[in-house]
Structures are given as C-alpha cells and as structure tokens.
Amino acid sequence: MSVKTEGRLNDMCNLGEGLLERGIEEGIEKGIEQGIEKGRLEERTEGLRSMVETVKSLVGDDFKKVCEIIKKNKLYENVSEEEIKKFWK
C-alpha cells in the first residue's frame, strides 16, 4: 500500500469516526429533549388530575362547574372536557 493510499484510508477512517461521534451526540441531545418533553407532559397530566380531584372535593359532582373553575387556571385554560373526564371518578 502506498503512503498516499494509506493517508487517504486514514482520512476516511477519521471521517467515519467523526460522523459516528456526531451522530451519537445528536442522538443523546434528541433523547434528552424527548425526555424533558415527556416529563413536562407527565407533570401537566398529574397536575390536572390533582386539580380535578381538589376542585371536585370543594364544589361536589357538578362537572360543568369543575370544568369552569379548572379552565380559569391559566395553565389549563385550553384543556378539553374530555381530558378532564379522564380524571373524573
């Protein structure tokens, strides 16, 4: 193998290693972002569940009233009645 060919082969190996490292880094970043998003969704869901239970314990079984009160909270102003029903017991 000539020195020139050996140098090109070495360059290709280095390029491949660089691409692999970059791919791993991007994968880790994407995984972290997905984990954070999943955590936020779980936190919001748990917060809504807790709020439904709390408001219901204060106003009773008036579903419409519970929905009205929950939607006054800025965090849940766009929540649907279907989402609230998931936690209605």
- Comparison of pLDDT for 50 and 17, the residue scoring more: 50
How far is residue 50's CA from residue 56's CA, in Å, rounded to a whole number?
10
**pLDDT tens-digit profile of 31-68?**
999 999 999 999 999 999 999 999 999 999 999 999 99
Average pLDDT over residues 64-86: 95
By the 8 A CB rule, do 51 and 69 touch?
no
Average pLDDT over residues 23-36: 96
pTM, rounded to two decimals: 0.70
Looking at residue 75, the DSSP 8-state letter turns out to be G
Give the residue extent of every domain in the chain: 3-85
